[in-house]
Amino acid sequence: MKQLMTKRCDRRGAALVEMALVLPIFFAVVLGIVEFGRAMMVSQMVTNAAREATRLGIIDGSTNSSVETWVESFLADSTNVSANDVTVTITVVAAAGNDDPNNQVGNAQARDLVTVNVSVPFDKVSYVPGSYLNGKNLSAQSSMRHE
């Protein structure tokens, strides 16, 4: 009986040492999963913003500034990113036989191709500070014909 007690006392700190070795790795994996999930979620929101902005841009009465404002507002509400960090590029390509709209959705005519590109730096929407995805942009592009 005395030998069992001695063996048990010799291992008293083993669990603490094992936890000290495994816990940092476990937390790094969990934080990586959280960051990857956040990147996927924000990427989907940026894709949604580009698609909805393109839809807004192809209807009559839209302007470039109204489309850009809508994208900035949508992303600020859904991902808490500042409007200054969102980049919106609108391109309007004239269809055959149409006048050049000078990249203005307000000047677009039927069948003109409206393309909206939305980009957000990942480090502006990241939960975990660090440099893993810093400098990378989450971007999406959508194109539709003007109605």
Q: Where are the domains of the chain?
A: 14-145
Residue 135 has pLDDT above 60, yes or no: yes
Average pLDDT over residues 124-136: 78
Q: What is the pTM (predicted TM-score) of this model?
A: 0.82
The rounded mean pLDDT for the chain is 89
Q: Are 102 and 64 in contact (CB under 8 A)?
A: no
Residue from 66, 59, 74 nearest 140 by CA:
74
> How many CB atoms are closer than 10 A to CB 143?
15
Residue 13 has pLDDT above 60, yes or no: yes
Residue 81 identity (one-letter amino acid): V
Which pLDDT score is estimated for 71? 97
Residue 2 has pLDDT above 90, yes or no: no
Which pLDDT score is estimated for 16? 86
